[in-house]
Amino acid sequence: MNLDEIRQNIDSIDRQLVELICSRMNMSKAVAEYKVSNGMKVFDAAREKAILDKVGQFGGEYGNAVRLIYGTIMEQSRALQYPLVNAGDVAAPSAVPDPDSVTRIACQGVKGSYSSLAGRKMFKNADILCCAKFADVFDAVERGDAELGVLPVENSWAGSVHEVYDLLMDRKFYITAAADAAISHNLIGTPDADIDCIKRVMSHEQALRQCAAFINEIGAEPVVCSNTAVGVSQVAKLGDRYIAAIGSADAAHRYGMKILKSDIASADKNVTRFVAVSKQFCASENADKISMVFSLPHKPGTLYSVFSRFAAAGLNMSKIESRPIKNRNFEYLFYVDLIGRLINGDTVNIIRSLEEELDEFTLLGNYEEISFDIE
């Protein structure tokens, strides 16, 4: 046979395959009706394993390829069944509060911290409750002392703030809004200080990492403290011209300190993502980002299986990060951000399927993201 004849045969086989796949999908609908009548879940791990093992044997030398193809077919069959069976309901989000109506928010650090400045930009009419630790922010919202908490979760240069992600999961909070803040780090000292005399630089560990090249260049020792603005306040309290801090211009003015140098971060574009968190699952009409975290079993193709569902639904991943799970050797949590909305049926069905099929799955929120500058 020449190439054209071979391709004609392939086209004929493809037509037959499509007809058979469509017939199989119709049978999946019938299975869904049976499951509804008998109170059964969509996902049946034992049944799917038996089918994959069987078709793998039928495939002979192409067994692995056949298993992979059938795995995708079965995923699409489940996707067809979820809206019919309505398994693993995804709760509809409440309307997110109007930012101008929020009266009190909680932030980590003291006034003048980047979190407090981000909170002021996001909720301009809100009073700010300053907390010593990230966990205290969650406590304040849980007690009702604040309507929302505003926390940093990621920096474009230094990476994720893992403690905040851990608290989101442990406390079962949701992200209701987010903001990408372009931050200008400043070296701040006493009124009589200059750069040449600085021996120690105080700040939060993230800010120190973001400005490590500059700190090394001036030959100073980095000193970790709980928050950028706390560092500035401590420099003011000590009154030592040989000690400086990294912080905001607002913190420098608030504590009567002098900006010795601006824009000292190692990266030209230093952006920190802040999130507003709540105990309530809320989303605005413009919410277009979905965040989730999940773990996967140690089985071939499981990560591909999840990501292929996102691709099939036309969902773009804007972030993926893995972290080891404590006390579980070589097992990982996956943090994923998608561009999408939970009012979309295909997206809801994917969330339903992951909630039912994965041992660990947490929906962190569906929210709108804005951007602004902090000096």
CA distances from 263 to 74, 98, 211, 213, 267 (A): 53, 33, 9, 12, 9
Unique residue bearing structure tokens 């603005």: 229
Beta bridge partners of 370: 179
Give counts: helices (H), strands (E), the chain: 12, 17
Burial class (CB in 10 A: 0-12, 13-18, 19+), 272: buried
3-class SS at 115? helix
Start-end of H helices in the chain: 3-37, 45-58, 63-85, 114-122, 134-143, 162-171, 205-210, 212-217, 228-238, 249-254, 302-312, 345-357
Residue 131: which of 143, 183, 122 has the closest Cα? Answer: 143
Start-end of H helices in 218-273: 228-238, 249-254
Write down the catalytic residue from 123, 274, 294, 334: 274
Both structure tokens of 261: 């140098």
Unique residue bearing structure tokens 């120690």: 200
Is 274 an annotated catalytic residue?
A: yes
Q: Taking the CA atoms of 123, 124, 129 and 134 in sequence, report the sign of the dihedral they define.
A: positive
Judge whether 230 and 175 are in contact, CB under 8 Å. no
Write down the catalytic residue from 176, 190, 228, 272: 272
Judge whether 298 and 331 are in contact, CB under 8 Å. yes
Q: Which helix (H) or strand (E) holds 279?
A: none
Query: Which residues are designated catalytic?
Result: 272, 274
